[in-house]
Amino acid sequence: MQLFKLIPKIHFIDKTFVFLVLFASLFPNLNDIDNVSIRWFLISLCSTTYFFFNKRSINKYVIFFLIALIVPICFIDNNIEQYLLSYSKISLTIITLNFLVHSLRSVKNPILFVSRLFIFSLIIENLYLFIDFLLNPETFTGISMNRNISSFSIILKLPLILYHIFCIELSKSKKWILTIVQLTSIISVIILQSRLAIVLLILIYIYTFFRPSINRKKLIVPILSIVTTLILILNTSNSILNSKTFLPINFFSDTSLSQRLEYLSNALILFKEKPLLGHGLGSWKVESLRFTDYSATNTIVPYYVHNDIMQFSVELGTLGLIVFILFFVFLIKETVNSSYRIHLKHFLLLGIFIFLIDSSFNFPFHRPQELMPFLLIAALVFKDNNINPVKYRLKKLTNIPLFLLLFISVLLSFREHKSLIDQRKLFNDYYSKSYTISTSDLANVNYKFPSLASNTIPISTLLARYFVEEKKLEEAQTLLSFSKKVNSYDVLTKQLQLQLELKSNNFINALKVSRELFDIDEQNIEYADIYYSIAAFLKLNQVFELSDIIYKNFNIELRLDHRKQLLS
């Protein structure tokens, strides 16, 4: 099989672009906290370069989507920065899909070409996983830094591989290569233990089994490999491998499922607040914090709804929901009406179905490793579409905003990547309760764009820690004032503000902040102790007699001790 013969002389730019976009989504993190930002950066760089070397007319539907998604920004009061960050990624996604469609139109056999890319990608992903598993048996995650993402990156590519195995006549050498890729992919998905991915893996082979004109003898080995690997996983002594229970009786008691249901419930509340245009792109990570229970022992910050449909609905309202649904309705319709063979249509629909299920439980639209394979599947569908591009006289007008959007995507994704490198150092100090970075080095950290760290803590708050510690109170106050504007729900910001007020002897303000902290976590005895101590020091008798806070505090003895201190 000519596996590596991917870039013939003709249409070199088109094939190179497709190749680079797919493999940019597998790029390592380069010392930042996550690998997402560097991947977005490389994809934006690829699309911008392709735009210069091979200027194509833009599809009129692309213009519609870009305009539809930018309109709500006019009605957003805050979170403009988060809106721009999210919009740049969505616009990049739409433009990249448009370029992929044009690129595949130039390829002689696009199905074979994309299949070869998927095979090459799966070889890399599976090999990486096996090495990672052997070297790090307790912490392995695959080529992504998340097991779910690694699993779905593999399973999204599998239907196109199965199409070639079961529906195409192949030489003996090609059969061996595809069989090895298929079996290693099955083992990889099961080892990663994403339960949803495993269920979908089983459903894929059940679906294939009942397809007409399928040689079912070819299914014996993959089905045996699924059963055997599952049995080995369930009986292994490895604490990581058997950490999840696949029995149906335990499914509804699973904490990850209950968390997702809770996120969905919170998302519905936010959607009802602003049903028309939503809270703004990127707003979920901040707005969802109002539902966080800080008294819980294991507080988890919900960065995503774990349901792309609901996330778009919360952030873009009914408009976002309609755009999302229209895209998939159009994609499925085009797949059904395409000129492809019936077997190929079904396997393409299978890939779309997998992505839709993934979107219902995870957030693949925010992860290039899952998104780029899906865009290639969509591009294979749309390449035969006869929708006319914009008129020639409008082409030059559309090229200017198109270039600006691509340039902004490059700039913002690079700044985000650089910020994540700085955040690694800041978080190392934060979690170890140390202060190893000098304030002079902190001056080089950009805290205004992006303003929120990967865990939604304002970067300015992480910087303020050092200034509070060194009693540079004016600098700390400036940073904390900025923090309140970008995330008014952040607890660390309030904690540092309390320290700042106490060190500045601003006890009235300190009383107010300590009350805010106590309202957030009513079971926190430290917040209550500070609140009552300040009230006693200021001899505010009404705090003990009239404030409803005394009825919330479970520690009656603590309150009485402060009451005695006040009276004395």
Residue 291 pLDDT more than 80?
yes
pLDDT of residue 556: 47
301-353 residue pLDDT tens? 677 889 999 999 999 899 889 888 989 999 999 999 998 999 999 999 999 99
Cα separation, 219 vs 170, in Å, equals 16
Residues 32-42: what's their mean pLDDT?
Answer: 91
- Residue in the block written with tokens 């990663």: 192
- Residue in the block written with tokens 């709804």: 305
Vertex 446 angle, CA 83 and 300, to 5°: 60
Cα separation, 437 vs 384, in Å, equals 56
224-278 residue pLDDT tens? 999 998 888 877 645 445 545 444 444 444 557 778 888 899 999 999 999 988 8
Cα separation, 462 vs 452, in Å, equals 10
55-94 residue pLDDT tens? 665 666 677 777 767 766 666 666 788 888 998 999 999 9
Residues 464-474: what's their mean pLDDT?
Answer: 91
Cα separation, 380 vs 550, in Å, equals 65
Residues 448-452: what's their mean pLDDT?
Answer: 90
User: What is residue 349's three-state secondary structure?
Assistant: helix
367-401 residue pLDDT tens? 999 999 999 999 999 987 765 554 444 556 677 78
Cα separation, 113 vs 4, in Å, equals 11
274 phi-psi bin (left φ>0, alpha ψ -120 to 50, beta other): beta
Reported pTM: 0.88
111-165 residue pLDDT tens? 999 999 999 999 999 999 999 999 998 889 999 988 999 999 999 999 999 999 9
pLDDT of residue 213: 80
- Phi then psi for residue 452, to 5 deg, are -105, 135
Q: How far is CA 478 from CA 435, 474, 482, 485, 500, in A?
A: 19, 6, 6, 11, 11
- Chain CA centroid to CA 239, Å: 27
User: What is residue 291's three-state secondary structure?
Assistant: helix
Q: Are 413 and 36 in contact (CB under 8 A)?
A: no
Cα separation, 122 vs 265, in Å, equals 36
Q: Are 320 and 116 in contact (CB under 8 A)?
A: no
Cβ density class 413-441: b for 16+ within 10 Å, e for less: bbbbbbbbebbeebbeebeeeeeebeeee
pLDDT of residue 4: 43
pLDDT of residue 186: 96
- Residue in the block written with tokens 């902004």: 408
Residue 395: how many other CB atoms lie within 10 Å: 15
Q: Are 58 and 22 in contact (CB under 8 A)?
A: no
Residues in the chain: 568
Residue 365 pLDDT more than 70?
yes
211 phi-psi bin (left φ>0, alpha ψ -120 to 50, beta other): beta
In sequence order, what are the beta bridge partners of 173? none
Q: Are 417 and 32 in contact (CB under 8 A)?
A: yes
Cα separation, 447 vs 482, in Å, equals 9
- Residue in the block written with tokens 């106050």: 477
30 phi-psi bin (left φ>0, alpha ψ -120 to 50, beta other): left
Q: How confident is the model at residue 478 (pLDDT cuts 50, 70, 90)?
A: very high
528-564 residue pLDDT tens? 778 778 887 787 766 655 555 554 544 545 554 554 5
Residue 7 pLDDT more than 50?
no
pLDDT of residue 251: 44
User: What is residue 76's three-state secondary structure?
Assistant: coil
Give the pair of three-digit tokens for residue 173: 């050498």
548-556, long-range: CB within 8 Å, 24+ apart, which pairs? 549/515, 549/518, 552/518, 552/522, 553/518, 553/522, 553/528, 554/523, 555/525, 555/528
pLDDT of residue 240: 46
Amino acid at residue number 388: N
CB neighbour list of residue 300: distance below 8 Å, 6 or more residues apart: 259
> How does DSSP classify residue 58?
P
Residues 183-204: what's their mean pLDDT?
Answer: 94
Give the pair of three-digit tokens for residue 360: 């219902």
Q: Are 315 and 90 in contact (CB under 8 A)?
A: no
Amino acid at residue number 519: D
Compare 359 and 532 and report the one with higher pLDDT.
359
Specify the range with the lowest mean pLDDT, choosing from 277-286, 394-403, 451-460.
394-403
413-440 residue pLDDT tens? 999 999 999 999 999 999 999 999 987 8
Which residue in 421, 348, 416 sits closest to 111, CA to CA? 348
Give the pair of three-digit tokens for residue 294: 């800080």
